[in-house]
């Protein structure tokens, strides 16, 4: 039995998720929205690995899921940043409030 109960891990993960949610909802810059998204994905990772450690310590299912989440987050960040750079090239802004129509 370790000195850190599972509830602490879940609390930290929830706090990080809420911080990420706040960052996604309140920032104007598209890249800042992406940063909040990465925080939310990381909080899910903490949950996966913590549950893996405390409920099935002899298996690694949670860690495998966490690896998949990291890979998907990497792919999503790459494509999202490519879109942001392309948008900046055409409209000279990355403010999400200004990019509100498909027609340029």
Partner 1 sequence: MTEQIIFFIFTLLVLGGGIGIVTTKNLYYSALFLSLTLSGMAGYFVLLNAGFLAAVQVVVYVGAIAILILFAIMLSRRMMTADEPQTNRQTWLAAIVSPLLFVALLVVVLQINWPLSTAAPTGDTLLLLGLSFLGSYVIPFEVISVLLLVALVGAIILARDTSTDTGRKG
For position 86 contacting partner 1 by CB under 8 A, the verdict is yes
- Interface of this chain with partner 1, residues 15 to 54, rule: CB under 8 A: 15-23, 25-29, 31-32, 34-36, 38-39, 42, 45-46, 49-54
Q: Give the nearer residue to partner 1 in terms of CB position, either 94 or 102.
A: 94
Contacts of 79 (CB under 8 A, 6+ apart): none
Q: CA dihedral in degrees (75, 46, 37, 39; nearest 10)? A: -120
Contact criterion met (CB below 8 Å) for 40 and 57: no
Q: Compute the least distance from the CB of residue 38 to partner 1, in Å.
A: 7
């Amino acid at each position: 039995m370790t000195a850190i109960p599972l509830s602490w891990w879940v609390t930290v993960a929830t706090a990080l998720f809420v911080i990420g949610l706040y960052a996604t909802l309140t920032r104007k810059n598209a890249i800042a929205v992406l940063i909040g998204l990465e925080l939310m994905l990381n909080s899910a990772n903490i949950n996966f690995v913590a549950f893996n450690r405390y409920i099935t310590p002899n298996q690694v299912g949670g860690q495998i899921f966490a690896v998949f989440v990291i890979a998907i987050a990497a792919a999503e960040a790459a494509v999202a940043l490519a879109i942001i750079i392309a948008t900046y090239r055409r409209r000279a802004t990355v403010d999400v409030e200004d990019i509100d129509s498909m027609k340029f």
